[in-house]
Amino acid sequence: MSELTHPCTIRAHHLLCTLGFRGLGYSEEFTSSMRNVVEKLRSSRVFPLTLVVGCDIICAACPHSKEGQCFKESDSEAKATSLDLEILSRLGFEPGAQVPCYEAWKRIRERMTSEDMVELCSDCEWFGLGYCVEGLERLKSGELTMPEN
């Protein structure tokens, strides 16, 4: 399993994925790694993030990731890169921005809508489960909160 580093390097679109994570994944190793990342991101509001366009700590445990690229389908890396750039733009961050978790969650809460997620994420195989939109709604309502530390 990948160890989290300080700051944690994370793809912009994976911020949205972490909102709806429910323990499902591509493999047991991936699911365990993703759970570790999600728990860390939810454990400290000041945990440092580096927002990237490209493979990150979550990708490191994915069976579709090879040599720092997604090979799930022939166009997966291009789609993921485009999605990362669009989400960074909507959140008002530049690639490589270093921010505390709370700032990322604050901007998602303020700037992302369920309609945005439908537009951006509907071709993801996990989107149909509804967990990510539900996670966004929980974040917006205050039900999914960040710790005080």
Q: What does the pLDDT look like over 81-106, one tens digit per residue?
A: 999 999 999 999 999 999 999 999 99
pTM of the model: 0.88
The first and second tokens of residue 83, run together, are 């999605």
Mean pLDDT for 134-149 is 80
pLDDT in tens, 23-65: 988 899 999 999 999 998 888 888 899 999 999 999 988 888 8
Mean pLDDT for 109-119 is 96
The residue with tokens 């579709």 is 64
Q: Which secondary-structure segment (H or E) carries 47?
A: none
Contact 38, 127 (CB under 8 A): no
Q: Where in the chain are the domains?
A: 8-141
pLDDT of residue 67: 82
Question: Taking the CB of residue 51, how many other CB atoms lie within 10 A of it?
Answer: 25
The first and second tokens of residue 32, run together, are 């365990």
Give the integer Cα–Cα distance in Å for 14 and 20. 10
